[in-house]
Structure 1
């Protein structure tokens, strides 16, 4: 457990206040960690993912003895010390070769984790394409029925979207959309794959029964002239290109998930009855009035409703004529 730090000056006080919980949170930071034993495939993958996540990312280039599925203490210590909400851990062993673990935390406590095995990998530097700018937000494309009806696939989809979410923006310029991340769920089978090498790519023999391959691809988006106001969109593979397979998972319980996704009262959209807006943003309201008892309304003391002398004479004259 970290000791409680008391600020000694205004600068350190502002730094600690920036880490405190807020109604509108800061952009989420991600922590990239190398395990105690890594391969070149893992190193290249971590570096490529770090490049996609910059500038809201911290990269540990030295080896660390971290095994989150066995003991979460050390990883939670790193998350709290660096004030990060997401993490990606890479390690390599004979039992689990080219292993990649992606996860997220709530209040610096591990919430969700998914362990992925890399069975095919092509690093980013192999592709001859223009790289995206630092801090650019990606488009996501998820393909495959498994993302709809399998729990581990749905969690992976949520994790990836949350991992690369970036800062919250009211609008996005077309020039700011520079890359696309495509995640495709392959057919699910019980068979294992054989060891194959293909040029600069890598394929592994290890697989998990009951899960299919997940194809992770990154493309650069190029806007070409089309002769109209809408540009013509072309894509070119930017890398990395990964074939992944789910190995182990660990998800939060319902209570923790409820606390993590609870919206503060200040940010809740309060539904006001009988108030609506049209497509142009104009506001419309409906007012319901009760029964108006005009006989019991106090009008004597209202100057505007008082009868003048001429009104009184006129009313008396009409009353006398009616009597005659």
Structure 2
């Protein structure tokens, strides 16, 4: 494991600060690593997945003696050196042909990973459809109840969502939704084994429909993969709790009757109870006293006395 270096100048200090944990993390970087022995199917798969993941992706073109399920040191070294938290490793052997490993790291340690066998691969070049732009967020659709019932497929769903989610965004424009990824779980085997998983990618075309909402047409752009789950490594319970823990700064407790506008100015609403205006203490002026109005004046008294004498 690498030790954290000390900054020698301001530029190096900014570089190290950028790697420190943040309240709102940057977009995750994915590593695409080629094993010591690979097949053309694995090379095509890594190339197409790398194209979908760009620009937040690093592709290793040289061969590497790496086996994530047997030894974690190599992938953790690459993750720390390149500041990445996602990885895809492609290998090929007689025991496990066309082998693809997808995984995640937390604090530069392997969190979880899943091993998939690529039984069929149709590359993006074999489709004549128009490809999506670089850096677009896809719409992901998971078909099949097995993703909620099968523990291995649920782990695969979680990894794929993290792999292709890109930058966090509150809103997405309909015109910016350029492609769709569908993942379909096939029927299980006779012995209860996990069936094939069909990975497909489509480009979207918006056409007039006569209403405010356009009609969406899909055209397959690739890659088209038929995958089979082989091995799954579930995360450790304590590490998983740390990975999904939310910072306190994000759990903002909403205060009643206080709001902020777009410029950050703070506004408060005050609720005042019923006011009894008649009981409000005013300035003590002799002319405003009530008993003066109730008592008769001197002229009225003298006129009343004269009337009585007559």
TM-score with structure 2 setting the length: 0.85
Matches for 1:169-184 after TM superposition, within 5 Å: 169-184=169-184
SS at match of 1:175: coil
2:68 aligns to what? 68
Cα deviation for residue 320 of structure 1 reads 9.5
Provide the rounded CA distance (Å) in 1 between the counterparts of 2:242 and 2:272.
39
1:12–1:145 CA distance, 2 compared to 1 (3 A): same
SS at match of 2:175: helix
2:151 aligns to what? 151
1:156–1:266 CA distance, 2 compared to 1 (3 A): same
**What's the Cα RMSD here?**
2.9
CA contact (8 A) 1:190 1:211 kept: no
Unaligned runs of 5+ in 2: 260-266, 298-310
Cα deviation for residue 275 of structure 1 reads 8.9
Q: 2:202 aligned with 1:225, yes or no?
A: no
Q: 2:237 aligned with 1:254, yes or no?
A: yes
Provide the rounded CA distance (Å) in 2 between the counterparts of 1:224 and 1:273.
45
2:303 aligns to what? none
CA contact (8 A) 1:136 1:177 kept: yes
1:124 aligns to what? 124
Cα deviation for residue 86 of structure 1 reads 0.5
CA contact (8 A) 1:275 1:286 kept: no
Provide the rounded CA distance (Å) in 2 between the counterparts of 1:171 and 1:240.
27
Provide the rounded CA distance (Å) in 2 between the counterparts of 1:317 and 1:149.
86
2:288 aligns to what? 311
Provide the rounded CA distance (Å) in 2 between the counterparts of 1:4 and 1:162.
27
CA contact (8 A) 1:54 1:134 kept: yes
Cα deviation for residue 317 of structure 1 reads 6.3
1:119–1:36 CA distance, 2 compared to 1 (3 A): same
Cα deviation for residue 189 of structure 1 reads 0.7
Q: Render the CA deviation track for 1:90-122: whole Å, top value 9, x for unaligned.
A: 100111000000011111111110001111111
Provide the rounded CA distance (Å) in 2 between the counterparts of 1:274 and 1:150.
46
Cα deviation for residue 309 of structure 1 reads 1.5
Cα deviation for residue 253 of structure 1 reads 2.6
1:306–1:101 CA distance, 2 compared to 1 (3 A): same
Provide the rounded CA distance (Å) in 2 between the counterparts of 1:27 and 1:185.
28
Q: 2:17 aligned with 1:17, yes or no?
A: yes
CA contact (8 A) 1:106 1:260 kept: yes
Provide the rounded CA distance (Å) in 1 between the counterparts of 2:74 and 2:272.
61
2:93 aligns to what? 93
Provide the rounded CA distance (Å) in 2 between the counterparts of 1:154 and 1:288.
53
1:243 aligns to what? 226
1:7–1:131 CA distance, 2 compared to 1 (3 A): same
Provide the rounded CA distance (Å) in 1 between the counterparts of 2:189 and 2:219.
30
1:95–1:190 CA distance, 2 compared to 1 (3 A): farther
Unaligned runs of 5+ in 1: 192-208, 277-282
Count of matched residue positions in the alignment of Structure 1 and Structure 2: 290
1:3–1:176 CA distance, 2 compared to 1 (3 A): same
CA contact (8 A) 1:85 1:104 kept: yes
Provide the rounded CA distance (Å) in 2 between the counterparts of 1:230 and 1:317.
74
Cα deviation for residue 148 of structure 1 reads 1.2
SS at match of 1:176: coil
Provide the rounded CA distance (Å) in 2 between the counterparts of 1:315 and 1:57.
89
